[in-house]
Amino acid sequence: MKIKLIATSLLISATCFAQVRREVNINKWQFSRDNTEWQQVTVPHDWAISGPFDKKWDLQTVAITQNGEKNKTEKSGRSGALPWIGEGFYKTTFTVPSEYNRAMLKFDGAMSEPTVYINGHKAGYWAYGYNAFRVDATPYINKDGKDNTIEVHLNNVEESSRWYPGGGIYRPVTLIMTGDTNIDRWGTYIRTNKISNGNANIAIDTHVHGYENIEGLHAEVSIIDITGNIKAQSNAKIDKIGNMHSEMNIADAKLWSPESPYLYSVVTKLYCGDKLIDETTDKTGIRTISVSAEKGFMLNGISRKIQGVCLHHDLGPLGTAVNKAAIIRQIRILKDMGCDAIRTSHNMPSTMQMEVCDSMGMMVMAESFDMWKYPKCKNGYAKFFDNWADRDITNLVLNHRNHPSIVMWSIGNEIPEQWSVEGREISRHLQDLCHSLDPSRPVTQGMDNAEKAIASGFAKVMDVPGFNYRVYKYDTSIKQIPQGFILGSETASTVSSRGIYKFPMKITDNGVYPDGQCSSYDTEYCGWSNLPEADLLMQDDRSYTIGQFVWTGFDYLGEPTPYDTYWPSRSSYFGICDLAGLPKDRFYLYRSVWNKAKHTLHVLPHWTWHGREGEVTPVFVYTDYPSAELFVNGKSQGRLFKQTYSVAPSSSNTEKPQLENMDLLRRYRLMWDKVKYEPGEIKVVAYNANGEKAEEKIIYTAGKPAKLEAKADRNEIKSDGNDLAFVTISLTDNKGNLIPDGSDELTFEVKGAGSFKAVCNGDATSLESFTQPQMKLFSGKLVVIVESNGKKGDILLTVKDNKLGKTVKTKIIAIP
């Protein structure tokens, strides 16, 4: 007995004097596709993004039931036509200093079915490539500074995705080293209980590992503002099962919102007696969310309709390898449009993405699954659902529940089980699981069969009933569900190619052409979807709608609808912005409605139409102004006013034709549809509500190609080897007018404190590699991505057009 007491005393002493945690990003790895030949890579890493594009990689003969297809056809670009299928192997080494007794590896995402080995021992496995997971490395590590080897095996099987999933360890890996007694980051839960008269009550729960047999264990929790001032502080004991609960009041609290994304720091210090043995810092935003039939969606007690977009997880030419600068650029572009929310479709988000949304002010619907038990593709998540769904939901919520940007969870997208009692019970179960882990947020999912989802009870059990498309069924659906409100969880699916216009202009749900492009008149969509204005009208005119998420904010790799059977076509046309992140015309349509802080005046199409002289070439204007006048070479084409158009509530599902006509468009667009093309200029003069001239815009016919122009999104980037600058290159005439059909091949060279990273022109039919320093312009533009290389100093990008014999140079500075 005496020996045992001495041993326990020594254990307590060792724990109490342990070193405070250390978290290290492990980013240098060796990578192989065959476990034989290896190359050095930096994680996050996507092994497939360099290509080459080839229809053979995931050639499928299927009927896409989500698109209403009944007969199987060959699909050549459904998952991006990139070599993501097959095995991948990663390995690296790490050390654990002697002062740390425990080590854990956190993988934020690895595609897919990652199996982790430490020093030759199988240490962990996770089935779902989109989810974060943790591996306890402690039983397998060598301590005292000796090397430890991590090996990760990945396996992507064919027909396991409906879009491009990427391949590799595409999100960060973190080594977390602590003492035996430590704070569980996923056991920390921070939420706002109440906001009243400017004061906020904040609740914080924390779980501690290794609490057993430790006397005097307690925690100090501080809430600190951005200036470093402590706004509230609490001391609490750790209870008998390792938990701590604290509630604090903050006076004059600064609230988090998209307009003012204020973040506090929550610092938790764990003490054994008076010895600090662990410490964590979490960012939090003070805000409340609720949804009801009476008030709709409310943030901080104020009703607002969600102005959101759906986003897949790839970053265009960067592939799926997550990058902070690229995410920041996306969010900045979306916020300029007036967007205030994103839906992570149809996958679990990265921690990095959520941190950016926290800091920049973007609300998030965090989604989980694209399928449950019924498979949408042969080897999809359905084969894991029964054994893994609860574990995946648990990791999703625990990993992300402290992010103020997340305003709701989504448990699925267009689940085939939506018409069954079984599906209803699965919905109830997954929603209850979310509530048990995070009672502060509502739960939703996207349903695409309103009648069956309502009849089965599937829609009725959800906190937030989300309906995908078929907006003309809203009036009937709202009468049959108890919630009293509807979320447009996926809307529009309008298709367009930047800078491409098709004649005659027409409204169609089947616009396909020999060149594999779609018209930027923004009047083409898919058989299951609709014009953008249909959703805008329902959001504006129906008090029971709480907002929408447009499909999609940016083009993404895979799903090249309406060209699923066309080769070459390997990426989507749905984006409001193209794959390079360049806004399409549709960007300005949404901006004219959503951005209340700035005026919008956008004219389309371009006015360089060699050979169309005398032919009808409609001119559209997207603007928040109520009226405008169009001039062609000084001749007035008339002044137009936005027209009143509404659809009366109906008890039937037959309103679709009323949401597919030119009268609807005239409510949100100014359209001169009889204009005949003549070279020169078109000028639009916009008038405000008082009839006063407010703004004008002129579009000129371009002359001969004369020069290249370069514009970087930033002139300074960090010299950390991860930061990126996005440089837009345009071909213009000698007056700076864009050459709208410019397709010259350009080459790129980067010298100094940076390197060439990638390039993209936004053409869904291009088979040129993103990672080679040459590419053709598409509609006169492309984007070059430059990366810092770890050194400070000047980065010089040189772009050459050998056909034109012109060069443009851009300097970017890499700073510490």
Residues designated as active site: 414, 490
Using CB atoms within 10 A of its CB, is residue 230 exposed (0-12), middle (13-18) or buried (19+)? exposed
Distance CA 683, CA 493 (A): 31
Contacts of residue 325, defined as CB under 8 A and 6 or more positions apart, other chains included, come to 717, 722, 723, 724, 725
Question: Per the structure block, which two tokens stand in for 586?
Answer: 């549709």
Q: What angle do CA 754, 757, 761 make, to 5 degrees?
A: 130
Q: Please answer whether residues 628 and 687 qualify as being in contact, where contact means their C-beta atoms are separated by less than 8 angstroms.
A: yes
CA distances for 127 relative to 313, 757, 782, angstroms: 18, 31, 37
Contacts of residue 493, defined as CB under 8 A and 6 or more positions apart, other chains included, come to 469, 525, 526, 528, 529, 530, 551, 561, 574
Using CB atoms within 10 A of its CB, is residue 298 exposed (0-12), middle (13-18) or buried (19+)? middle
Question: Per the structure block, which two tokens stand in for 179?
Answer: 């003492």
CA-based nearest residue to 41, from 104, 113, 82, 92: 92
Q: Please answer whether residues 345 and 367 qualify as being in contact, where contact means their C-beta atoms are separated by less than 8 angstroms.
A: yes
β pairing state of 806-815 and 716-718: parallel
In the block, residue with structure tokens 């004008």: 696
Q: What number of CA atoms fall less than 13 Å from residue 142's CA on the CB side?
A: 13
Question: Per the structure block, which two tokens stand in for 273?
Answer: 């007696």
Distance CA 444, CA 427 (A): 9
CA-based nearest residue to 741, from 578, 500, 536, 543: 500
Name residue 156's beta-bridge partners.
86
Cis peptide before 552 (omega within 30 of 0): yes
